[in-house]
Amino acid sequence: MEEDIQWSLDQLDQLIKDSHDYKQKALLMGVKDLLLEQEKRTEQIQGQLDGTLWSPNDWGS
């Protein structure tokens, strides 16, 4: 995981911990889930791209 993503997750965790408002906590937790999902999808698409670049069958004509 990239350093900036980890920093963002740490900041969100601290904000969630410090928040006393249910709606704010729910929003922050949703943002955290979204960030984690984006990171996962980024890793998946990078793997797919690497696989395509190294597979002559997928290069096309």
54 secondary structure, DSSP code: T
Helix axes 22-53, 3-18, angle to 10 degrees: 160
Q: What is the pTM of this model?
A: 0.76
Q: What is the pLDDT of residue 25?
A: 98
Q: What is the pLDDT of residue 60?
A: 65
CB within 8 A of 15, min separation 6: which ones?
A: 28
Higher-pLDDT residue of 1, 4: 4
Over residues 8-59, the pLDDT tens digits come to: 999 999 999 999 999 999 999 999 999 999 999 999 999 988 888 887 776 6
Q: What is the pLDDT of residue 26?
A: 98
